[in-house]
Structure formats: C-alpha cells, structure tokens
Chain A
Amino acid sequence: MKEKDGIINCPQQQLILYVEKEDGKYEPIQTGSYLTSNYLDDYEQKRHHLEESLKKQILAKEISPVYYYMILEDLTVSELSARAGLRKGKVKKHLKFEHFKELPQETLQQYADVFNTTILDMISLISEQKDNTLNAKPVS
C-alpha cells in the first residue's frame, strides 16, 4: 500500500498503518480508521435498532436485562458465566424476565461489573417497561 492511499482523516479513531513510503521503505504512519470514517453511522444505526428490539422484548417479558446486555456486549452464556462467576445454569435462568426480579443485589452487582454498568441502569430497563405499560393504559 502506498502512503497516499493510507491517509484517512478520522480524528475519532487513530491507528498505525504500515505503508510504502516514497523512498520504497515500508514504515508506519499514524492515520485514521477507514471503517469509522466511512461507516460509523451504519454501526450506530444497527446498534440503535438492536437496543430498541431488545427493549421491546423486555416489554413483552420475553427476556431480562441480563439478556439485553449479554447480546449488546456480544457475550455467550459460557463467557458471561465465567466473567460473572456464576454457574451456567443460573445465568441461563437469569436471562428470562420472570427470574430477573428475584435476583439478589449481590448477583445484580456481579452482572453490572461485567457489563460496566450500574444496578440502577439494569433495573431501569424494567422500570421503562413499567412506565410504558402505564402509558399504554387508556385514560378513563
């Protein structure tokens, strides 16, 4: 790759690329990410759609906030169980809406640490569910 082809203007994400300089030497340049520069909007749109779709599933009581974060963070049940320090069978149970409400604070904290979020943020997904339910009620 020639140096001129490697220069990408993307201050948000800088990286090192090895290119052929004018003197024929293969050396590093600091440049921008091609993907972030051209397709960040597409990534954000897909992420937004996924979040909305998962929130709808929480609203329909099909999944729990643990499932929501697991999918968003691209984790498997095995990986999540190892990271949270919980048995796989337990994690599988916690992915279901009906079991989430029974979780003790300590377990919630274990999940929150993995997802780098707070218990409050996890619970707020359920609260949103309640709010939406309330909003959906017709005013008599």
Chain B
Amino acid sequence: MSNTNFKHKMAAHCESGAVTSLLNNAGLEITEPMVFGISSGIFFGYFHKMRSFAFPTFIVRNKPGSIRNNLAKRLGVKFHTEKFRDADKGMKRLDELVEKNLPVAVQVDFFYMDYLPEWERVHINVHFIVVVGKMGSKYIISDSYFPKLVELEVASLKKARFAGGSMSPKGFLFYPEFIPKEIDYPKAILKGTKKVCFNMLKIPMPFLGIKGIRTFGKKIVDWPSFARDTEHLSHEIMKINILLEDQGTGGAGFRFMYASFLQQGAVLLNKPEWTLLSKEMMEIGDGWRDISLFASRIGKNRDLEPDKLKELGMMINERADVEERFFHRLKNSLN
C-alpha cells in the first residue's frame, strides 16, 4: 500500500522539508525558505560542555519541533500530532494512517536510515521523514536528504522511532489536518522575523544568538583539550563543515536559505529594503562558507596549531559582528 500521488522532493533541511512536503501534497503552495523564515528557523547556539555530546558543538537553527509549531501558529494550519509510550502501538497507529493513504511525518534517530551512506549516519534523534506507504516488510519513505523515494525495513523504522537518549522521538508523528483557505502571509512573515531578531540579539544567555557566535569564536582555541589525539581534533574541526553545509542547511548554516526567504518576503511585503538585506545575508553566508572550507582544509592537513585555531576563531567572530549589524537593520526594517 503506498500513496502513489505523493510527490517527493529533496529539501535543504529535514524538518522544514517534511513540513513543506506535507503542506504541498495537501494542496498548499509554499516554499521551504518561506516555511523556514516564518517559523523563525535561523539561529545560533554554542555548547561547550553537554552531557549528551562527546565534544563541544553548535547549532544553526531553532529547537527541533519549533518549525512545525511556529508555522502552525502563524499560518493557522493545524497539525495532528501523536506520541507513544508503547512501540507496538506506535507502529500499529502508523500502519492505520498509511493504510488510509495519508502521508505521515515521523521523528526518528538518523542513525537507522540505512539507505544513506554509513559515513553520513550519526545518532541524532531529531530527524524527520515522511512515510508514504508500506509494501510487505518495508515502508516507503520520503526523506529530504535523498533524491528519490526509498524503502526502509519495519524493524529499522521501529528502532529509529523508539530510540532512547536525549530528545528521544517516542514515536512522534504528525500530519496536517486543517489548512485555512485564506492566509495572511505578510503578518506571518513579520511575526517570524521579529522573533528571529529577538532570538539573535536579545536572548541574555552567552551561548545563544550573536553572543553564542562570539563564545564559539572564543572557545574554539580550547578544543584541543577535549581531543583524544590529533586525528580526533581534525575530525571535530572538519565537522564544522558538516554542521554548516552537509547536515541539511541549504548551505552556510541556513544563511543562504534565509536570504531566499528575505528575497521572497521583499515581494510579498513590498519592502524593497529587504532585497538589499537578502543580498547582505547571502554575503554573510559566503563568509560562513569560507569558514567551512578553512576548517576542512586545516583539518585535512592536520594544521591545527593554536595560531590556526585562533585564525578560525577570528573568522567566526567576524561573522558575529556582521550578523549583529545585519539583525539590527532587519529589526529596524520591521518598524
């Protein structure tokens, strides 16, 4: 049993991709950058020490689940959501929905998505895929990170939906159950943007927003003290590239996709200054891309002496400066 009408499309990010895909297939024409922008997706957070991470790390988007929640609130869309204590009940419920030809998004541990190459797969409990059918012992999956529909064994999906650990999915699933006929896009865009400016500029914690970028730039010189050896440090430094480019961001830690949102917003809001801001955001993204390339190069060459890490830290701090000026200008444009 599979939903033959479902149109699979790759997307930059798994959550905004799954939400966009479900809405598009339910008849609402909306782009992924618009979903990302309205839901205040762009963000920054740096975590130097956390129990669930073996090494310092950073995030470039808002909290998992926020894209769906914020979008629903701002557009008036209603998503049906369910969580399960019992794995068998969770799988049975999914089968019932799939049987009705309903595409359903599920939260999974990325590690068990065995159609992806081994080097890509890590334990992270906040990956979102859309289940569009079932054939025998396999589900038909639409994953934003894969070019076509794929099959996944029932046992793998069960493990992935009910993996334990931090942010465990608990079988979470969702699908749209109501889409309003009329949507006030300008209002939603402004609300989403206002929140983004607050998140980047005003959150008082030193590890979040612009302050978080600065903390990252400052603390990266301490990374060698967490590493087992040079190869471990090289691996972690090269992961900066993965987090900014490869782990579903649309490039430059979501900055390129956010530029696309601002460009679309300029037309919908009739705000010519947003066209300039979108150009600026694209250039900010180019700077992040330079960081990705620099990190992968020094990692590969094992050129990880303190002066190189300091140079990397300075490049990161420069991003904090330009983003701070940018988000102030964006905030002022809302008045």
CA distance A42 to B303 in the complex (A): 14
In this complex, how many residues of chain A approach chain B with their Cβ under 8 Å: the count is 44
Cross-chain contact of A33 among B10, B246, B285, B300 (Cβ < 8 A): B246
B245:A34 contact, CB within 8 angstroms? yes
For B51, B54, B145, B257, the residue with the greatest tally of chain A CB atoms inside 10 Å of its CB is: B54
In Å, the complex CA distance between A73 and B123 comes to 7
A18 touches B259 (CB 8 A): yes
Residue B40 CB within 8 A of the other chain:
no
Segment touching A, from B77-85, B114-122, B126-134, B317-325: B114-122
Whether the Cβ atoms of B251 and A1 lie closer than 8 Å is yes
Q: Does B286 contact A (CB under 8 A)?
A: yes
On whether A113 and B159 interact (CB within 8 A), knowing A1-B256, A26-B260, the answer reads: yes
Check A25/B263 contact, CB under 8 A, given A16-B10, A73-B123: yes
Contact of A13 among B32, B241, B246 (CB under 8 A): B246
Cβ A39 vs Cβ B300 within 8 A: yes
Q: Tell me if B250 and A28 are in contact (CB < 8 A).
A: yes
Decide if B174 is an interface residue (CB 8 Å cutoff).
Answer: no
Q: Does B168 contact A (CB under 8 A)?
A: yes
A15 touches B53 (CB 8 A): no
Grouping DSSP codes into helix (H, G, I), strand (E, B) and loop, the B interface class, with mixed when no group exceeds half, is helix
With A and B bound together, what is the CA distance between A38 and B301 in angstroms? 13
Query: A36: which B residues are within 8 A, CB to CB?
Result: 117, 119, 246
- Interface residue? B282 (CB, 8 A): yes
Chain B residue numbers with a CB within 8 Å of A50 are 231-232
Q: Do A17 and B251 touch (CB < 8 A)?
A: yes
Known: A16-B10, A26-B278. A76 touches B54 (CB 8 A): yes
For B234, the closest partner residue in chain A by CB is: A46
A-B pairs with the 6 shortest C-beta distances?
A: A18-B256, A26-B260, A83-B165, A83-B164, A82-B165, A78-B51
> CB within 8 Å of B: which residues of A?
1, 6, 12-20, 25-28, 30, 33-36, 38-40, 42-44, 46-47, 49-50, 73-76, 78-80, 82-85, 113-114, 116
